């Protein structure tokens, strides 16, 4: 294992846990895909979670701009699912603090926990487990900037983009592995269905909901 694990090493590790599967998957929201990643299945193993977050921390330390601000850095999770990543990075980097953004419902505005106050000019590393559509990361970024924070970069374990994944301009994005999955908005659009590939049904989460919205938008 390399000090910063290679993409092949990362994918091999998560496949062994069952977190990464190839096949034909249909989500409750209608989205179809040829690959399914459930990061929580990998992160349930402390040793593996530490391997991934320490590897990501080394990637971050290699960036001189990030390295010099680490003692003052706030590590902020864009979703609750990103908290294991945030705490692992904070421990490995010896950053200043961890907190997170949250929503009462999918339709509600993103917010921070009550009584949590941001400092003007606060340096922030915004993190999550997976980047798919990028919508939640962008919402968290906008919220932080509205509080006077400076988002210095984004870090995720896995980058699994859709054809319409948001771009973040010049903001640095750090990740351990990029997965090139095939997404289809519904069964009528799915090549796997047309070829009769056996189907496995899985639950949709907020990130897959947003990925489907992106595909529908692209086709309109």
Is 220's pLDDT higher than 60?
no
Asked if pLDDT for residue 206 goes beyond 80, the answer is no
Which CATH number do you get for residue 62? Answer: 3.40.50.2020
Number of domains forming the structure of the chain: 1
Position 133 scores a pLDDT of 86
pLDDT at 99: 97
Burial class from Cβ neighbours inside 10 Å (0-12, 13-18, 19+) for residue 197 reads: middle
* pTM for the structure as a whole: 0.89
> Do residues 212 and 185 make contact, with C-beta atoms less than 8 angstroms apart?
yes
Answer whether residue 1 is part of any domain.
Answer: no
Q: pLDDT (tens digit, 9 = 90+) per residue, 117-173?
A: 999 999 999 999 999 889 999 999 999 999 999 999 999 999 988 777 889 999 999
d(CA 37, CA 18): 9
Residue 218 has pLDDT above 60, yes or no: no
Kindly state whether residue 138 falls inside one of the protein's structural domains.
Answer: yes
CB 174 within 8 A of CB 155: yes
To 10 degrees, what angle do helices 206-219 and 135-146 make? 100
Residue that is written with structure tokens 């977050």 in the block = 53
Position 65 in a domain: yes
pLDDT at residue 211 greater than cutoff 70: no
Question: Is residue 2 included in any domain, yes or no?
Answer: no
pLDDT digits (tens, 9 = 90+) for 176-195: 999 988 888 889 999 999 99
Residue at 135 is within a domain: yes
Quote the tokens at residue 112: 């921070």
Domain assignment present for 52: yes
Tell which residue, 140, 62, 68, 135, has the closest CA to residue 99. Answer: 140
83 falls within a domain: yes
Over the stretch 45-96, which tens digit does the pLDDT of each residue have?
999 999 999 999 999 999 999 999 999 999 999 999 999 999 999 999 999 9
Residue-number span of the structural domain to which 93 is assigned: 7-219
Q: Are 77 and 98 in contact (CB under 8 A)?
A: yes
């Amino acid at each position: 294992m390399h000090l910063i694990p290679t993409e092949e090493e990362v994918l091999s590790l998560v496949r062994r846990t069952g977190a990464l599967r190839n096949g034909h998957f249909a989500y409750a929201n209608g989205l179809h895909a040829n690959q399914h990643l459930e990061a929580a299945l990998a992160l349930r193993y402390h040793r593996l979670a530490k391997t991934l977050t320490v590897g990501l921390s080394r990637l971050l330390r290699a960036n001189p701009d990030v390295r010099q601000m680490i003692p003052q850095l706030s590590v902020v999770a864009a979703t609750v699912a990103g908290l294991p990543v945030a705490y692992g990075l904070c421990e490995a980097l010896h950053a200043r603090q961890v907190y997170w953004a949250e929503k009462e419902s999918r339709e509600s505005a993103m917010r921070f926990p009550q009584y949590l106050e941001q400092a003007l000019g606060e340096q922030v590393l915004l993190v999550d487990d997976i980047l798919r559509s990028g919508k939640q990361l962008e919402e968290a970024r906008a919220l932080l900037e509205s509080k006077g924070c400076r988002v210095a970069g984004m870090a995720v374990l896995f980058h699994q983009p859709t054809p319409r994944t948001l771009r973040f301009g010049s903001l640095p994005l750090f990740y351990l592995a990029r997965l090139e999955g095939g997404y289809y908005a519904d069964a009528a659009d799915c090549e796997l269905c047309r070829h009769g590939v056996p189907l496995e049904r899985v639950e949709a989460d907020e990130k897959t909901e947003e990925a489907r919205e992106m595909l529908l938008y692209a086709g309109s």
